[in-house]
């Protein structure tokens, strides 16, 4: 059965453009004579293990011994977690799939070293790069958390944007109350007013609590 090649692209948000990754990966394919690479793209975190539909398809193909080469832009596109990255490399070694990375040019050179030295150097370098990727991701997360602040009981991001659910206007609050009093369900109210179900439920709960407190105090 003929083996195939894959180019894997991963971006963590909808705003990131995978085109830059694709061009670099295609240049690497040309340099290493890797032809007919099928392009697979995911838009999700590198910490996610189960929600990457495209990556999971590649893993299934690797286990079926259908993949010859897997090309990525950076090893952190595969996994940011060091242990998971190392385990994935061992999986690929078991099923004879080589990994190439545009950002880690040393990896491409290791692929050309005869066995068993390639495996020894390979695992050592992957351990290091995986640790660096994990550390950088943790540092970035810490920087974001430290930049978040509370001002006037409102959570503000480092960019100055408000975090959390958007406050309902007085008009929408009145509409929610009237529709709820009219017997409309929370889900239907949310759909009618284009508000989240959680937002409608929260307001109704707060309104009923306030109403109950007023009756108790009167």
DSSP 74: -
Q: What is the CATH number of domain 4-143?
A: 3.40.50.1390
Extents of the domains making up the chain: 4-143, 170-217
pLDDT tens track for 18-72:
888 899 999 999 999 998 889 999 887 665 555 788 999 999 999 999 999 999 9
pLDDT at residue 218 is higher than 80: no
Q: Which of 140-149, 165-174, 190-199, 206-215 has the lowest mean pLDDT?
A: 140-149
pLDDT tens track for 90-143:
898 889 899 999 988 877 777 776 666 566 666 666 666 666 666 666 665 555
> How far, rounded to the nearest angstrom, does the alpha carbon of residue 188 sit from its chain's CA centroid?
31
Give the separation between CA 62 and CA 59, rounded to whole angstroms. Answer: 5
Beta bridge pairs of residue 43: 11
Mean pLDDT for the stretch of residues 149-159: 50
Residue-level pLDDT at 172? 81
> How far, rounded to the nearest angstrom, does the alpha carbon of residue 151 sit from its chain's CA centroid?
29
Residue-level pLDDT at 7? 96
Q: What is the mean pLDDT of the chain?
A: 77
- Among residues 22, 24, 26, the alpha carbon closest in space to that of 10 is found at 22
Token pair, residue 52, equals 């990457």
Percent of the chain, pLDDT > 70?
Answer: 68
pLDDT at residue 188 is higher than 80: yes
- How many helices (H) and strands (E) are present in the chain, helices listed first? 8, 6
Q: Cβ distance 76 to 84 under 8 Å?
A: no
Q: How many CA atoms lie within 13 A of 164 on its CB side?
A: 10
Phi and psi torsions of 198, nearest 5°: -60, -40
* Phi-psi map region of 102: left, alpha, beta (phi>0 left; psi -120 to 50 alpha): alpha
- Among residues 100, 13, 4, the alpha carbon closest in space to that of 60 is found at 4
The structure tokens 């990727």 sit at 133
Compare 45 and 83 and report the one with higher pLDDT.
83
Beta bridge pairs of residue 57: none
Residue-level pLDDT at 65? 95
Architecture of the structural domain at 170-217: Orthogonal Bundle (1.10)
pLDDT at residue 161 is higher than 60: no
Percent of the chain, pLDDT > 90?
Answer: 22
Residue 107 to residues 28, 75, 101, 208, 218, Cα–Cα distance (Å) = 12, 10, 7, 62, 75
Q: Cβ distance 134 to 82 under 8 Å?
A: yes
Q: Cβ distance 72 to 100 under 8 Å?
A: yes
Is the pTM above the cut of 0.75?
no
């Amino acid at each position: 059965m003929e083996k195939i090649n894959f180019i894997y692209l991963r971006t963590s948000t909808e705003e990131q453009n995978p085109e830059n990754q694709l061009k670099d990966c295609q240049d690497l394919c040309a340099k290493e004579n890797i032809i007919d690479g099928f392009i697979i793209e995911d838009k999700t975190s590198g910490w996610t293990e189960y929600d990457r539909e495209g990556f999971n398809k590649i893993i299934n193909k690797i286990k079926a011994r259908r993949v010859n080469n897997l090309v990525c832009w950076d090893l952190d596109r595969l996994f940011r977690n060091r242990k998971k990255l190392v385990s994935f490399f061992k999986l690929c070694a078991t099923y004879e799939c080589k990994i190439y990375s545009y950002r880690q040019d040393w990896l491409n050179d290791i692929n050309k070293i005869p066995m068993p030295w390639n495996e020894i150097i390979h695992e050592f370098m992957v351990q290091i790069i995986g640790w660096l990727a994990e550390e950088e991701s943790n540092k970035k997360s810490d920087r974001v958390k430290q930049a978040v602040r509370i001002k006037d009981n409102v959570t503000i991001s480092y960019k100055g944007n408000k975090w959390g659910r958007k406050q309902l206007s007085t008009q929408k609050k009145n509409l929610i109350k009237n529709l709820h009093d009219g017997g409309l369900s929370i889900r239907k109210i949310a759909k009618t007013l284009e508000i989240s179900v959680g937002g409608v439920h929260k307001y109704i709960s707060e309104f009923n609590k306030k109403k109950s407190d007023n009756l108790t105090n009167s």
